Amino acid sequence: MNRNRYEQREADGRDVSVRGADSLSTRTFQSPSPQVSAVAALRSEAGRPLVQYPDELSVEEPLEIRIAGEPYATTMRTPGNDHELVAGFLLSEGLIRSKADLGGISHCGRLGSEGAGNTVDVLPAPGAVLDAEALAHTRRGTLTSSACGVCGRKFIDDLLLRLEPAPECQAFERSFVASLTADLRARQPSFERTGGLHAAAVASSVTGFGAVREDVGRHNAVDKVIGRLVLDDRIPAHGSLLVVSGRTSFEIVQKAIAAGFSGVVGVSAPSSLAVSTAARFGLLLCGFARGSAFNVYAGAERLTV
């Protein structure tokens, strides 16, 4: 178990049975879920022998994405909300622009068979063409890891050619932006159990929090949120913010711009390329959003008192 998570559980009273090595074996867990798996581990503490330590971990499995039966990419993800993940992924890749381009998204394989649920096939809508070959020069390649979906791309500028600047919208109050990451943290049930999942959410100063999704991969959580917007026919997401539970990479900013978000708010630091890309496209980009404070790296004109 992550040490910080272990200490926090003791500090705020959750899972009190972990207090003291003698009671570790008495820990009780919630029912298994597609996102959480129970494992048998050992725990080491200074001056004590190794003890049995049942724990819960985030699940990671491959998902093969096919277009009209043809393999397109494989990503490592946490099972759940796969249709959203695929829809968001295809929007970020530039294969679709809205729900209207999608004819159907379905899992392949027989229920109960090995690997069932780990392959998804996408069919274009009548009259639409999902031309994967036309984007071959910016494809992710055979495998996208859960850690970094953009790794290995040779021409980042090719990704940006399809994007448009973030349009004007009503400015965001700084107090609203400051509240977002704490609100996101309260909506992460699987992280609460495992300490091993990232989260992303869509938030609006008018409607509050919308979809919140967790995944072992940061970019997967973002794709799931964007995919929910695609399937709800709410793209572009003008006037909304993308909230993420960790650092903000170039890819997250690129996905936010592709989906039409007005800004990104992250718990941790953005990368230098994320900042320059946000500035280039007029996106609000905030980092280290914790408590009542945050840093503004781009798009400060989108904030108001």
Q: What is the CATH number of the domain that holds 154?
A: 3.10.20.10
Evaluate whether residue 224 is within a structural domain: yes
127 plus 240 within the same structural domain: no
176 plus 300 within the same structural domain: yes
Could you give the number of structural domains in the chain? 3
* Cα angle, residue 179 at apex, residues 173 and 183 outer, rounded to 5°: 140
Query: Which of 97, 132, 160 finishes a domain?
Result: 160
pLDDT-based confidence at 11, cuts 50/70/90? very low
Evaluate whether residue 24 is within a structural domain: yes
Confidence at residue 113, expressed as pLDDT on a 0 to 100 scale: 67
pLDDT-based confidence at 17, cuts 50/70/90? very low
Does residue 236 have a cis peptide bond before it, meaning omega lies within 30 degrees of 0?
yes
Q: pLDDT averaged over the chain?
A: 86
Confidence at residue 7, expressed as pLDDT on a 0 to 100 scale: 40
- List pLDDT tens digits, range 121-172: 999 999 999 987 765 555 554 456 555 555 445 458 777 888 999 999 999 9
Cα separations in angstroms, 203 against 111, 169, 180, 183, 264: 35, 14, 8, 10, 10
Outline where 76-140 has alpha helix (H): 82-93
Query: Which of 58, 79, 97 finishes a domain?
Result: 58
Residue 74 corresponds to which amino acid? T
3 Cβ partners below 8 Å, 6+ apart? none
Domain that holds residue 85: 61-160
CB of 231 within 8 A of CB of 83? yes
Confidence at residue 133, expressed as pLDDT on a 0 to 100 scale: 73
Confidence at residue 18, expressed as pLDDT on a 0 to 100 scale: 39
Among residues 267, 192, 206, the alpha carbon closest in space to that of 237 is found at: 206
254 Cβ partners below 8 Å, 6+ apart? 92, 150, 159, 160, 163, 277
Confidence at residue 134, expressed as pLDDT on a 0 to 100 scale: 64
72 plus 52 within the same structural domain: no
114 plus 211 within the same structural domain: no
Q: Give the CATH number, domain containing residue 298.
A: 3.40.140.10
Evaluate whether residue 165 is within a structural domain: no
Confidence at residue 47, expressed as pLDDT on a 0 to 100 scale: 96
Query: In sequence order, what E strands does 3-141 have?
Result: 36-43, 51-58, 61-67, 70-77, 102-107, 119-124
Evaluate whether residue 184 is within a structural domain: yes
Residue with tokens 């091993």: 196
131 plus 65 within the same structural domain: yes
67 plus 52 within the same structural domain: no
Q: Structure pTM?
A: 0.85
Any idea what DSSP says for residue 117? T
Whole-angstrom distance, CA of residue 252 vs CA of residue 276? 13
185 plus 97 within the same structural domain: no
Evaluate whether residue 167 is within a structural domain: no
Identified catalytic residue from 108, 148, 169, 286: 148
Evaluate whether residue 235 is within a structural domain: yes
Confidence at residue 20, expressed as pLDDT on a 0 to 100 scale: 40
Query: β-strands 263-266, 284-290: how paired?
Result: parallel
Rounded average pLDDT over 9-13 = 34
What percent of the chain has a predicted confidence (pLDDT) above 90? 74
| 151 is a catalytic site residue | no
Evaluate whether residue 236 is within a structural domain: yes
184 plus 247 within the same structural domain: yes
Lowest mean pLDDT among 111-115, 253-257, 290-294: 111-115
User: With left for phi above 0 and alpha for psi between -120 and 50, is residue 127 left, alpha or beta?
Assistant: left
Query: Which of 118, 140, 160 finishes a domain?
Result: 160
CB of 154 within 8 A of CB of 140? no
Evaluate whether residue 166 is within a structural domain: no
66 plus 94 within the same structural domain: yes
Residue 94 tokens, joined: 């530039």
118 plus 186 within the same structural domain: no
189 plus 300 within the same structural domain: yes
125 plus 68 within the same structural domain: yes
